Chain A
Amino acid sequence: MSRQPSVLPTMVGVAMACGFAIALVFQATAGQIERNRSELLEQAVAEVLPGVANMRGYAIADDALTDAATDQARIIAGYDQTGSLVGVALPARIMGYQDTIRMLFGYDPVSERLTGFAVLDSRETPGLGSRIGTDPDFLASLKGLDVELAGHALANEASLATRGAVRAPWQVDGITGATVSSRAVIQAINDTAPALAAIRAQLPVLEATSKVRAEATEGNDA
């Protein structure tokens, strides 16, 4: 009882040792975590833009494009082996049923259609809302979805298909039991309209970039 250690030095000592340990582990893992993150994103881009070999991130400001790291980019342009533009991947985030859903859309600016959709991160209800990433009908109806622009908005806003009626090219087959999550995805598609407009406006730049890069690669080979 007489040799009871005092509180302050012990607490300060323990806290300092803990802080040191955390800093050490953070330093040791930071690089690998960063690599895992970008690898995950690159896999998703390849999934929504089939045939992609190279990618390049851009930020958007007033319909103009500036270079950005792919993990912070507003849009990611994807190029194939020969260096021509395959399409553009658009990361998006929106509130789902439980938490923010992070997703990626593939967009073909020439035909103005979506080429694919992937969920990057979601905490939707397992077995119900989580099916936005796996349900075959839902994913198939997103692929090739008509997102034609009229100015800075979509000519026909994306919406859920009506049961029994013929599905319009801009309509999505909803998932039974995951109405909130499917609606969130549709809302996210409609929210991308300004970014799509910027891509359309800068399409020559995006396509030209690829040619410059392709020539540079060829030069290296020679």
Chain B
Amino acid sequence: MPEELLKGFWRENPVFVQALGMCPTLAVTNSAINALVMGLATTVVLIASGAVISTIRQRIPKQARIATFILIIATFVTCVDYGIQALDISLHAALGAFISLIVVNCLILGRMETFASKQPFLPTLFDGLGMGGGFTLALLCLGSVREILGAGSLFGIQLLPAGFEPWVVMLLPSGGFFVLALWVLVFNRLRQPNPTGAAETRGAI
């Protein structure tokens, strides 16, 4: 069971290893709070729809399974959307259309198809929690670096001195690609401390 939980954070991290859900990863990570809320919203949808689909998995007809998954995912996304509006409406405005777009996040549909529809309830719950947690972690990694460099603050709290000239490029889409590339580099370097692959490449040259 801990394996189901932990794989999402490290060995099969949805963003840095599987490269899933890139659209919200790049689009809403211009501040740490946006990244956190997006990550948590996705986690809630992952866990809730995983729980439902795993419970009724024997009753879902094979031909119509994708349509059923989307229906269930869309329901939870709509509920989360209303929930965020009720909690903090300015946050909802900052995330714009991206909350509704969780429906088409391939990470969620992917987990439903490869895991929830084949596994019992409890492992699915842990899988959803792990994958959602890994996704949130990855978004936070991007969001905090982009906010610190692009606005000099973190979670809206000014960190760098007033004399610091913000790197506006970090808040723009191109900054998202730069930071993502760096994190993927760091993450995979740490994941393979003994890169035999690199040695082989050297040998080939």
Chain A residues at the B interface, C-beta cutoff of 8 Å:
4-7, 10-11, 14-15, 18, 21-22, 25-26, 29, 32-33, 36-37, 40, 99, 121, 123, 125-128, 177
A109–B62 Cα gap in the complex (Å)?
67
A-B CB contact pairs (8 Å), 24 listed: A5-B59, A6-B61, A7-B64, A10-B59, A10-B60, A10-B68, A11-B64, A14-B71, A14-B72, A18-B71, A18-B74, A21-B75, A22-B75, A25-B78, A25-B79, A25-B83, A29-B86, A33-B82, A33-B86, A36-B85, A125-B172, A127-B150, A127-B168, A128-B168
Closest to A35 in B: B86
A33–B85 Cα gap in the complex (Å)?
6
Please name all residues of chain A whose beta carbon is closer than 8 Å to the beta carbon of B75 when the two chains form the complex: 18, 21-22
Known A-B contacts A127-B172, A128-B168; the reply to A11 vs B150 at CB < 8 A is: no
Please name all residues of chain B whose beta carbon is closer than 8 Å to the beta carbon of A123 when the two chains form the complex: 96
Q: Is B166 an interface residue, CB under 8 A from the partner?
A: yes
Please name all residues of chain B whose beta carbon is closer than 8 Å to the beta carbon of A36 when the two chains form the complex: 85-86, 88-89
Q: Is B151 an interface residue, CB under 8 A from the partner?
A: yes
A3 CB → nearest B CB, Å: 9
A36–B83 Cα gap in the complex (Å)?
12
CB <8 Å contact, B74 and A29: no
A130–B82 Cα gap in the complex (Å)?
25
Please name all residues of chain A whose beta carbon is closer than 8 Å to the beta carbon of B89 when the two chains form the complex: 33, 36-37, 40
Closest to B30 in A: A126
CB <8 Å contact, A32 and B86: yes
Known A-B contacts A10-B68, A29-B83; the reply to A22 vs B30 at CB < 8 A is: no
Number of A-B residue pairs, CB cutoff 8 Å, is 74
CB <8 Å contact, A21 and B68: no
A21–B93 Cα gap in the complex (Å)?
24
CB <8 Å contact, B71 and A127: no
Please name all residues of chain A whose beta carbon is closer than 8 Å to the beta carbon of B59 when the two chains form the complex: 5, 10
A22–B86 Cα gap in the complex (Å)?
14
Q: Is B192 an interface residue, CB under 8 A from the partner?
A: no
CB <8 Å contact, A10 and B79: no
Partner of A10 from the list B61, B74, B78, B88 (CB cut-off 8 Å) is B61
Please name all residues of chain A whose beta carbon is closer than 8 Å to the beta carbon of B82 when the two chains form the complex: 25-26, 29, 33
